[in-house]
A = this chain, B = another copy of it.
Amino acid sequence: MSRNPVVAVCGATGAVGQEMLKILEQRDFPHSEIIPMASARSVGKKVAFKGRELKVVELTEDAFAGVDLALFSAGGSTSEKFSPLAAKAGCVVVDNSSAWRMDDNCPLVVPEVNPHDLDWHKGIIANPNCSTIQLMLALKPIHDEARIRRVVVSTYQAVSGTGHKAVEELENQVRRLMSGQPVVADVYPHQIAFNCLPQIDVFMDNGYTKEEMKMVNETIKIMGDPSIRVTATCVRVPVFYGHSESVNIETEEKLTADDVRALLAKAPGVTVVDFPEKKAYPMPIHAAGEDDTYVGRIREDETIPNGINMWVVSDNVRKGAALNTIQIAETLIERDLLRVPA
């Protein structure tokens, strides 16, 4: 492409859409035009971009004529409807919903982990689930070195993963409790303030939640290795920004804790913070607003011959959604793949 692309941000008024606009600006993403799109009820709203105000236009069937790249964060059903229409109009879609992730025709990509999967895109590329992305960044270097057999992961997920309304709900509940008033739970099925909620997304027939099964299935697709077994327990905690994960790993080859630290220290997108003597380890309040995924508490698990425990933290709205989407788009441009194959 000789000119800069026309870029649509679909779902521009949501939490992830807003973060996308911020990151497009921060990274000086090449564009000839940025078009914020949203559903009819947001039309007329304005969003900030590079000191200007852009008017939100309606996301319609005909909206993608002349658009080269659409960054979608507008929910699954909206994406199911509009992404194929965009692709048909010649616009490459990078979608942040779960709609296309397990579709065999759509690559599921973390640019530091499986950029090569972009080579076979057919117009729609899926952005993985937030809790999967940070896990992949931490697991890939270990898998490449020692083959991962099994992962047991428990998550500590922030409310921002649910969107603006959940951030407000936590804030409101905390204010009410602090002034002795009863709380109202609207976004979540139960109070989230000062509580842990062991349910993220809906339950499946096997007793796992959809969020837990996303971690299982997306890991296999991104790593391109169906032999990796993952079991997950996903829990919402009263944190605004930053997902944390307690990760237990069994590998085929033995790795010491020092080996893992050395591997992760040179991994792209990863920062090792692991200085127990200084009480330094990753925490959501530090990861918030940052691009990297932070790994610490790296220890050998001696209950199995080749075991490692670690603690992985990342900004779920940033690397877990908006940033990864934009990094996929950047990689498409670098590799000259920003076109829908005939």
Residues of A within 8 A of B (CB): 150, 152, 154, 156, 171, 174-175, 178, 189-191, 194-199, 203, 206-208, 229-231, 233, 235, 237-240, 244, 246, 248, 257, 276-277, 279, 281-285, 296-304, 307, 309, 311, 313
Contacts and interface: CB of A to CB of B under 8 A. Distances in A.
Contacts of A257: 207
B198 A285 contact: no
B239 A297 contact: no
Contacts of A175: 178
Given A208-B299, A231-B303, A257-B207, A285 B191 contact: yes
B248 A284 contact: no
A199 B238 CA distance: 18
Contacts of A203: 276-277
Chain A contact surface mostly: mixed
Query: Which interface residue of A174, A277, A297, A302 has the most chain B CB atoms within 10 A?
Result: A297
A297 B233 contact: yes
Contact of A235 (B189, B197, B238, B246): B246
B235 A190 contact: no
28 contacts: A150-B304, A152-B303, A156-B156, A156-B235, A171-B178, A174-B178, A189-B279, A190-B285, A194-B239, A194-B285, A195-B239, A198-B244, A198-B283, A199-B276, A199-B281, A203-B277, A206-B299, A207-B257, A229-B304, A231-B301, A231-B302, A231-B303, A231-B307, A233-B246, A233-B248, A233-B297, A233-B309, A237-B237
Contacts of A309: 231, 233
A229 B301 CA distance: 10
